[in-house]
Structure 1
Amino acid sequence: MSGENESVTYRVEDHVAVITLNRPEQRNALNFDAYDRLERAFRQAVRDPDARCVIVTGADPAFCSGDDVREIMAGPKPAIPPPPTVRHAPTPAAMAALECDKPVIAAVNGAAVGWGMELALYADIRIASEKAKFAELFIKRGLTCDVGGFYRLPAIVGPAKAAELLFTGDVIDAEEALRIGLVREVAPHAELMDRARALAARIACNPPL
């Protein structure tokens, strides 16, 4: 269990672990601390014998707006800049999410853009609030996405639609996400976590092995 003031919180109730990005004033943008805590939260879920299913979400009003560019750009720089090529290895937080051996549900309560969309893609199941928005914004900043966009997105929505989203950086709403198969369902905003918890409970009641 983690504190209310932490950038990422972890709680378990009825065998469901809830990982919450908790920087609402920054629309849950990820700085170095949040990336580190997110990685640790997924690792904790793997080790936690009480956790049989995981929900990842954000403190309203957003799911995750990607990198906190201001803080990250102000942070320490590598001695030798990396070459401008496609990233070959997932980031540590991405690897922790991908290696989580518990079923993961993303309860997308608002904007899931940039690395926030990557995080949603790492989940096994995505449920969207009617207020959700999705975008692979990396192209707008001359960057490449993480492995979510390269590998998970084409598998979920098909290669052509994935290429369109990656090459344009277009923002799509919850209904469009449902139409292309990116999300399982669209819920009224006030019901999102109840829907996610109900599904998680159905999963968690099965034998964990």
Structure 2
Amino acid sequence: MPENSILLEIDQGVANITLNRPQSLNSFNTEMHEALRDALEKVRSDDSVRVLVLTGAGRGFCAGQDLGDRNVAPGADAPDLGHSIETWYNPLIRTLKDLPIPVVCAVNGVAAGAGANIALSCDIVLAARSANFVQAFCKLGLVPDSGGTWILPRLAGMARAKGMALLGEKLSAEQAESWGLIWRCVGDEVLQDETSKLARHLAAQPTAGLALIKQALHASTTNSWDEQLDLERDLQRKAGQSEDYREGVSAFMEKRQPRFKGR
């Protein structure tokens, strides 16, 4: 397994994972899936990590699946794409959702196919102005995966989701921001600095509480009104028993910067 298909760096509570197959726009093959799975497991098991940043090397974020890694030659048996999704993409999306820390995605170029939906599955997405998002599945006769059919209608609305999925046109970072698909579009030259600034800010916050916020927001998509109110009650009870809450109140009363322990 190539050691450099995924780069992982952990510094001062910030884990940086870089998709590192720039020659193929960081498209996924089996080796990169395995390396990313291992990197995320290291992040999950390291209590010093308070925020994760996901980005891509070179001129693109991720072009989705490396089609060269699939056997579709004439006369050959058709590949079982469902097996690939169940083995790799679905566990990846679930891991990003369930990580008990904020997950920031810095989209530095094209995000296509599964690459687009992996980016949109992160908690906060910053995109360079030159970046774009493409639901390229329809051009191959496929269905948006990696959570795409769930994410797009909820973020952009059904009409826009259908347009993106059925037409497969490029959506600019600026348009993605205006549609509410991403948090912010920034200049290419400041993407790295803005991402680092955001990550450092989040790492200094009460990240155990941020994990509860993620849990509540995700649950709201399926909970009834009464169920969500009950969940807020239960999570607030848990948050109020944390050391970070005590520290936050003490810092406020003493007019000083809080020193949160977080995760």
TM-score class, shorter-chain normalisation, is 0.7 to 0.9
| Equivalent position to 2:61, from 51, 60, 63 | 63
Listed one character per residue, the Cα deviations across residues 122-173 of structure 1 (whole Å, up to 9, x for unaligned) are 1011100011010111111111122421112222212221121112111111
Letter in 2 for 1:146: D
Counterpart of 1:19 in 2: which secondary structure?
Answer: strand
Counterpart of 1:51 in 2: which secondary structure?
Answer: coil
How far 1:99 moved relative to its partner? 2.4
How far 1:207 moved relative to its partner? 2.3
What's 1:47 paired with? 45
Counterpart of 1:118 in 2: which secondary structure?
Answer: helix
Cα 1:83/1:51, change in 2 over 3 Å: closer
Listed one character per residue, the Cα deviations across residues 79-138 of structure 1 (whole Å, up to 9, x for unaligned) are 996598xx7895332232232221111100000001110110110111000110101111
Question: 2:135–2:168: 8 Å Cα contact kept in structure 1?
Answer: yes
What's 1:117 paired with? 116
What's 2:175 paired with? 176
What's 1:140 paired with? 139
**Alignment partners' CA distance in 2, 1:60 and 1:163:** 30
What's 1:27 paired with? 25
User: Which runs of 5 or more structure 2 residues have no equivalent in the other structure?
Assistant: 209-263
Letter in 1 for 2:53: I
User: Which runs of 5 or more structure 1 residues have no equivalent in the other structure?
Assistant: none
What's 1:99 paired with? 98
Q: How many residues align?
A: 200
Counterpart of 2:62 in 1: which secondary structure?
Answer: coil
How far 1:73 moved relative to its partner? 2.8
How far 1:38 moved relative to its partner? 1.6
> Relative to structure 2, which stretch is displaced further, 186-195 or 108-117?
186-195
Question: 1:121–1:152: 8 Å Cα contact kept in structure 2?
Answer: yes
What's 1:153 paired with? 152
TM-score w.r.t. length of structure 1: 0.87
How far 1:190 moved relative to its partner? 2.0
Cα 1:80/1:177, change in 2 over 3 Å: closer
Question: 1:43–1:100: 8 Å Cα contact kept in structure 2?
Answer: no
Counterpart of 1:146 in 2: which secondary structure?
Answer: coil
Counterpart of 1:73 in 2: which secondary structure?
Answer: coil
Q: 1:12 aligned to 2:10?
A: yes
Question: 2:113–2:137: 8 Å Cα contact kept in structure 1?
Answer: yes
After superposing on structure 2, the runs of 4+ consecutive aligned residues of structure 1 that deviate more than 4 Å are 79-84, 87-90
Cα 1:147/1:23, change in 2 over 3 Å: closer
**Alignment partners' CA distance in 2, 1:83 and 1:17:** 31
What's 1:186 paired with? 185
Cα 1:72/1:44, change in 2 over 3 Å: farther
Letter in 1 for 2:5: S
TM-score w.r.t. length of structure 2: 0.70
**Alignment partners' CA distance in 2, 1:155 and 1:111:** 22
Q: Work out the percentage of aligned pairs sharing the same amino acid.
A: 32
Higher helix share: 2
Listed one character per residue, the Cα deviations across residues 164-207 of structure 1 (whole Å, up to 9, x for unaligned) are 11121111111111111112111111211111111111111012
Q: Provide the alpha-carbon RMSD of the alignment.
A: 2.3
Kindly indicate whether structure 1 or structure 2 has the higher relative contact order, using CA contacts under 8 Å at least 6 residues apart.
1
**Alignment partners' CA distance in 1, 2:68 and 2:81:** 22
> Relative to structure 2, which stretch is displaced further, 38-47 or 162-171?
38-47
